[in-house]
Chains A and B, each alone.
Chain A
Amino acid sequence: MTLEARIRASLGAFELDVELAVAAGELVAVLGPNGAGKTSLLRALAGLVPVSAGRVTLDGVVLEDPAEGIRVPSERRPIGLVFQDYLLFPHLSVLENVAFGLRARGMARAVAVAQAGRWLDRVGLPAEGGRRPASLSGGQAQRIALARVLACNPALLLLDEPMAALDASTRVEFRRDLRRHLESFRGVRLLVTHDPVEAMAMADRLVVLENGHVLQSGTPADVTQHPRSRYVADLVGVNLFRGRVSHNVITLAGGGSLTTAGAADGDVFAVVHPRTVALYRTRPDGTPRNVWEGRAVDLDLEGDRVRVRLTGSPPIVAEVTPAAVRELGLDRGDQVWVAVKATEVNVYPA
């Protein structure tokens, strides 16, 4: 069981252009900032938004291919979509909500209700069948929404920001809970989120979406170690540079240069962790191979560290201890010397 999708869709001025493959048993998280096109991607997969070009196949069955004039309507796709705010039907009881998909597929009422009841058991809410969705807590609503979708036995499960509607305090607990329910599902699982922690905690593989395009995909470890966009670099909290390397010197696209110890050639990304950036009042001598002058424009206390944002060529963020800030007498607007060891500049091909 696999999902293979090549989707191009224009929604007003917004262009979505995504290629995606998900295998059964794999949980892929599409991660991206708000407005990246995550929800549009799910709606396109579910057939709620027309695809202008591309091809969507699930288990070898073509669901959509504009070139061949194929477009399976939403109601006949074996796809379950859990919406961001769950969208439980407010005029139906919880049990009727879970039975809705079975009834819509023509199952007799009594059979559908009995089956829905078993799903309520499975998500741990056997006693809530008679209630109205409005009286449920966020976590309960999430589980009912999941049960409503899983009751239809979909081959592909799509989840749109499953945690966004929950209180921050209950999120950790429900993430564990959701993960357990998702593990028992055999089909293809795809979840979208703007929360990196959620993506890392849940997914086997990340797909980073920005502005309607896939910027990067890979295991969470791979993505965080080798960011390929400012968005991911900011999420991870590292300095990301792009440039062209020749003889261990990277000429940066944004101005300035960095010397690296690694061997590489051509266009590269270079990552410098803020903790490896050292600051001095006077020009340091000795080992550091990269030394330049910068101006501190922002100091932020984060945990037990101070993040110092510096302009210069190149601009960079340093993380130092509060004691170091005191020793340096560092304040906004001060000129400092920035030093980064060549061995701390991690380079990988762009």
Chain B
Amino acid sequence: MILAGAGAAFFIVPLVGLLVRTPWMSAWHELGSPEVLAALRLSLLASFSATAIALVLGVPLAWTFARLTFPGRSVLRALTVLPMVLPPVVGGVALLLAFGRQGLLGGWLATAFGIHLPFTTAGAIIAETFVAMPFLVITVEAGLRSMDTRFEDAARTLGASRWTVLWRVTLPLVRPSLIAGAVLCWARALGEFGATITFAGNFPGRTQTMPLAVYLALETNPDAAIVLSLVLLAVSLAVLIGLRDRWLGAS
């Protein structure tokens, strides 16, 4: 019991600390400061863009993993979920080596299209997508696997093409997984720090997302850091409450 209490306290005390130290009087003022607003705006832009990319690329990937068998499937699947366990900094380094000026694709992208990803907002989005997309892929794949595929059979015998089956039957039936996956993906993207700072740097207004701003502000303006942290905490709580049926049961 004591150990369990200590365990619970371990999680609760930091949160209480954050709330106690919050400068409630000046909170609104801090939130309105241009730097904070810029970071907030950039964070929302990058995290929603990353989620959109993850949906467009991740859902077909999840479908492939759930429905097709091909040689190397498990290896490919392991590689795509690797970012979930990979230290984000390593992800950032890997992205630099791929899309950096000297990188595998970066040089070609720069000369052929004039696209420079590192240290740009696009780069921040790429970094967040890299780290967050596996959450979507895993969740949607699980949803597709647990779905009764005979609904798809029924749709086909009713004359629906594969495309119609996908849009009118498969995706609506895995909607809960799609929503959960997208929310998890978005929350992870919002909190992304390591890969972003490594690959995209820390330029206010361009690549400085909220977590980077919190880290920086802790040195110069602790109150702003606390207020920003509080905003991120609120977002996390909202996600948890939104998905509570999934994780905490119906209690």
Contact = CB atoms under 8 A, between A and B. Distances in A.
Contacts of B64: none
A74 B156 contact: yes
A43 B164 CA distance: 20
B151 A149 contact: no
B157 A79 contact: yes
A234 interface: no
B157 A74 contact: yes
A27 interface: no
Contacts of B153: 43, 46, 48, 74, 83, 87
Given A87-B150, A87-B154, A100 B173 contact: no
Give the interface residue-count category, chain B. Answer: 10 to 19
A104 B172 contact: no
Interface in A34-57: 43, 46-48
A104 B172 CA distance: 16
Interface in B138-156: 148, 150-151, 153-156
Contacts of A126: none
Interface in B158-175: 158-161, 164, 168-169, 172-173, 175
A129 interface: no
A256 interface: no
Contacts of B155: 89, 100, 104
B156 A148 contact: no
A105 B159 contact: yes
A104 B164 contact: yes
A100 B168 contact: yes
A152 B150 contact: no
Interface in A57-82: 73-77, 79-81
Interface in A105-119: 105
A90 interface: yes
A220 interface: no
A101 B150 contact: no
A91 interface: yes
Given A75-B161, A104-B161, A89 B151 contact: yes
B161 A81 contact: no
A61 B148 CA distance: 32
A83 B150 contact: yes
A80 B157 contact: yes
A321 B202 CA distance: 95
Interface of A: 43, 46-48, 73-77, 79-81, 83, 87, 89-92, 100-101, 104-105, 148-149, 152
Given A47-B157, A75-B159, 10 more contacts: A46-B157, A75-B161, A76-B159, A81-B154, A81-B157, A83-B154, A89-B155, A101-B158, A104-B168, A149-B158
Which 4 A-B pairs give the minimum distances between C-beta atoms? Answer: A101-B158, A104-B160, A74-B156, A87-B154
